[in-house]
Structure formats: structure tokens, C-alpha cells
């Protein structure tokens, strides 16, 4: 499918990746979900905006979901996110657009659910660590990002997978911090 020219930036798509617009986000349910209901539309740090949106969403949903509800919600969000990321990346013709933030949402919900209950400072450290691992893509995050690139279902899985690996590394560091002498500061 060819990109909609009404959603392109001033530069042609050959020289610059298409930046989605509100119109693009509303054109298909997958677009709205993949773009975090608009959180990923910003020009600066859309992944950070998506993670902040995830944090706010978690705080609201955590009031009504128990552990079983969260487990079901996360599995569903992962599957729907995979679909939404796949469709949206194909429509944008970009393998892993930074504007697709459903991956940050699912991964950060997983982190916060596994940490709960956690004080605000620990949640803030989790946010910072997750953004660090996701942005710089060190080690296993880079491996996941490189091995599942492209358009189609494999590419959609890759969009989700590298953030899940970043979430795993975040949880490992937080577990180490909880077990170390550094834990009392929060």
C-alpha cells in the first residue's frame, strides 16, 4: 500500500520518512492504537511521550484491574499492539517508525505491573532505565531490534520485541537495586 500523500511532511518520502498526522491516526483503528492515541505524534521524543502516556494509563487502569486482569490486558495489548504496529508500519512504509509507541505502552505496563506496589521514586527510576535501554538499544535490545526489522508480521513483532527486551533489562537492574544496599533510598 502506498502512503497517503496528505500525511507526508514537506520533504518527499524518498529523502525523509513520513511523519504521521492526526488525520493519519484517525484513518484506521490500527494507526490510532499504534500511535498511542496521539501520544506518538510529537516531533520530539515520541517514545518518551508514549511511555509517559503508558504511565498515566497504568495509574488509571490499576485502580480497576487485579493481577488476573492485568495479565489478560497485557496479553491482549501485546497481540493488538503487534497487529497495530504491523499495519501502521506498512502504511507508513517505515520498518520501525519512532512514532509507533504501542510497544512502549505494553512494555512499560509490564514493568509497572511487576513492580507494583512501588513508590513513586522507584517508578521514576524504572521510567528512566526503560527509556535509556529503549533509546540506546544496548546488547540484547540491539539484537532484537536488528533481527526482526522490516515490514509485515515479522517487523511488527520486532517493533514489540525490542521494547519487551528493554523492559526485561529494566526489571533486572531494578531487581539488583532492590537487592543491593541502594534500595533504602527509595
- Per-residue pLDDT of the chain in tens (186 residues, 90 and over written 9): 444 444 444 333 333 467 898 998 888 999 999 999 999 999 999 999 999 999 999 999 999 999 999 999 999 999 999 999 999 999 999 888 999 999 999 999 999 999 999 999 999 999 999 999 999 988 888 888 788 887 888 889 999 999 999 999 999 999 998 888 666 655
Domain membership of residue 2 (yes or no) is no
Domain membership of residue 156 (yes or no) is yes
The length of the chain, given as a count of residues: 186
Domain membership of residue 82 (yes or no) is yes
Domain membership of residue 14 (yes or no) is no
CA dihedral 85, 89, 90, 92 (to 10 degrees): 140
Domain membership of residue 11 (yes or no) is no
Domain membership of residue 4 (yes or no) is no
Domain membership of residue 131 (yes or no) is yes
Cell numbers 540491539 label which residue?
A: 142
- 3 state DSSP class of 150: coil
Q: Is residue 163 within 8 Å of 103, Cβ to Cβ?
A: yes
Would the CA dihedral through 78, 83, 87, 93 be positive or negative? positive
Domain membership of residue 50 (yes or no) is yes
Residue 15 CB-density burial (10 A; 0-12 exposed, 13-18 middle, 19+ buried): exposed
Domain encompassing residue 133: 19-185
Number of domains in the chain: 1
C-alpha cell at 94: 517505515
Describe the crossing of helices 120-136 and 46-61 by its angle, rounded to 10 degrees: 150
Amino acid at each position: 500500500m502506498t502512503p497517503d500523500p496528505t500525511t507526508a511532511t514537506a520533504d518527499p518520502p524518498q529523502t525523509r520518512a513520513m511523519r504521521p498526522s492526526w488525520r493519519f491516526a484517525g484513518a484506521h483503528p490500527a494507526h490510532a492504537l499504534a500511535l498511542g492515541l496521539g501520544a506518538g505524534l510529537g516531533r520530539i521524543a515520541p517514545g518518551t511521550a508514549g511511555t509517559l502516556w503508558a504511565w498515566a494509563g497504568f495509574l488509571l487502569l490499576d485502580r480497576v484491574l487485579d493481577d488476573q486482569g492485568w495479565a489478560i490486558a497485557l496479553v491482549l495489548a501485546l497481540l493488538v499492539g503487534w497487529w497495530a504496529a504491523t499495519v501502521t508500519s506498512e502504511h507508513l512504509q517505515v520498518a520501525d517508525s519512532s512514532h509507533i509507541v504501542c510497544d512502549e505502552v505494553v512494555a512499560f505496563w509490564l514493568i509497572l505491573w511487576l513492580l507494583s506496589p512501588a513508590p513513586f521514586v522507584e517508578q521514576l527510576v524504572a521510567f528512566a532505565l526503560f527509556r535509556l535501554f529503549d533509546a540506546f538499544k544496548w546488547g540484547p535490545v540491539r539484537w532484537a531490534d536488528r533481527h526482526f526489522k522490516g515490514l509485515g508480521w515479522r517487523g511488527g513483532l520486532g517493533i514489540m520485541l525490542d521494547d519487551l527486551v528493554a523492559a526485561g533489562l529494566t526489571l533486572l537492574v531494578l531487581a539488583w537495586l532492590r537487592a543491593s544496599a541502594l534500595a533504602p533510598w527509595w
